Structure 1
């Protein structure tokens, strides 16, 4: 049966990568209803470049660590790409209680046009029907380190912070670099959030 709805289909990821290494994906345009890209556990050395996403949930690493799973992602590059009218822009998402690590992730030269959550890192990703588990395990998650956001431009819808980095108390995020983040604020855009990010006092974006 074909859908006649004018709304985008839900849970329609465009590019999911799991348990793989040495992947290059480039020069593509996608219109989707969920993650444009989702880099999942067991992935090493992936480069995504010159991708245009229309709608959906943006360029994601994760989700990782669901149900206490041990997941590892290392060396991811998202370069020279665009997300139009996306809910999220560039994102790393892990579950509370998860094990493993995310390291060496670079988002560079990414334009985000009219997005709700431009730059988001969270160790508190959770499904609505798993909230009791997530609350119980909120103080730990995967170790997230060596993440760079370089030359991230565009505009925000205004309801969420331009930068939201929300990590766990027992597994804080470390080694983050933010530079050239130039997202046009809306009148209702709240302040940026940097929670449990080691060295946040030296990151200028965390104080605005």
Structure 2
């Protein structure tokens, strides 16, 4: 698919499906940014595999929404988008949930975000058993970003202390480099009520630039045992 006007592929309510060998390339043909051109999104689906594909877009390379269980994304190359994202979740009145989502052996080149989980303040539900492993990030503006305060600057009260719980997250063997921006390599910004727990962060090898800020692990339960939180 070349130069789609909006999002490309949406998977809703599927079971036992494999997506593979997909090539997407959407760039703006004028000075306007090609926003809302998500590559591949899914909701209310289970036992899904996305593999062996390449996406050049202006928004999320993966947009994982509520009701997704047992998803594996492997050997996917993302270029210039917003990275491998779960969320945003928590905007509605009903609880959102995501469980057992694994990103293994992927790449993100010149992406705004590399790997990301995003929930909004006041949301309900849970995100559980997430794995980002063997991911290469080249010139990423915001390499590793996990927040329970997404969207609050425009539409929510950032001081709300509750959101979805995010637990049992593995971040392992993330390599590459930052862009020339000043964002931290590891940016985990959670709510005060201990909603982020059970995190394992190992083998982070991202080359920083002179402006890169110190890593952030706000209100992450167990952050004192994660050396990268102090770097």
Counterpart for residue 9 of structure 1:
34
Counterpart for residue 51 of structure 2:
26
Counterpart for residue 201 of structure 2:
178
Pick from 191, 195, 198 the counterpart of residue 218 of structure 2: 195
TM-score, scaled relative to structure 2: 0.85
What is the CA-CA distance between 1:171 and the residue it aligns to? 4.1
Task: Point out where structure 2 has 5 or more consecutive residues left out of the alignment.
Answer: 6-27
1:16–1:37: 8 Å Cα contact kept in structure 2? Answer: yes
Q: Against the structure 1 CA distance between its residues 82 and 6, is the aligned structure 2 distance closer, same or farther, given a 3 Å change threshold?
A: farther
Counterpart for residue 95 of structure 2:
70
Which protein has the bigger helix share? 1
RMSD value over aligned CA atoms? Answer: 1.5
Q: Secondary structure at the match of 1:206?
A: helix
What is the CA-CA distance between 1:124 and the residue it aligns to? 0.2
Deviating beyond 2 angstroms after TM superposition, the runs of 4 or more aligned structure 1 residues are 133-136
Q: Secondary structure at the match of 2:81?
A: coil
- What is the distance in 1 between the residues matched to 2:202 and 2:162? 27
What is the CA-CA distance between 1:98 and the residue it aligns to? 0.4
- What is the distance in 2 between the residues matched to 1:144 and 1:67? 17
2:170–2:201: 8 Å Cα contact kept in structure 1? Answer: yes
Q: Secondary structure at the match of 1:16?
A: strand
Counterpart for residue 142 of structure 1:
164
What is the CA-CA distance between 1:172 and the residue it aligns to? 2.7
- What is the distance in 2 between the residues matched to 1:167 and 1:184? 25
2:60 matched to 1:35?
yes
2:143–2:186: 8 Å Cα contact kept in structure 1? Answer: yes
- What is the distance in 2 between the residues matched to 1:129 and 1:186? 30
Q: Quick one: higher RCO (CA 8 Å, sep 6+), 1 or 2?
A: 1
Q: Secondary structure at the match of 1:176?
A: strand
Cα deviation digits, residues 55-82 of structure 1 (max 9, x gap): 1100001100014441000000101110
Q: Secondary structure at the match of 2:34?
A: coil
What is the CA-CA distance between 1:154 and the residue it aligns to? 0.5
Pick from 143, 160, 173 the counterpart of residue 183 of structure 2: 160
Q: Secondary structure at the match of 2:196?
A: coil
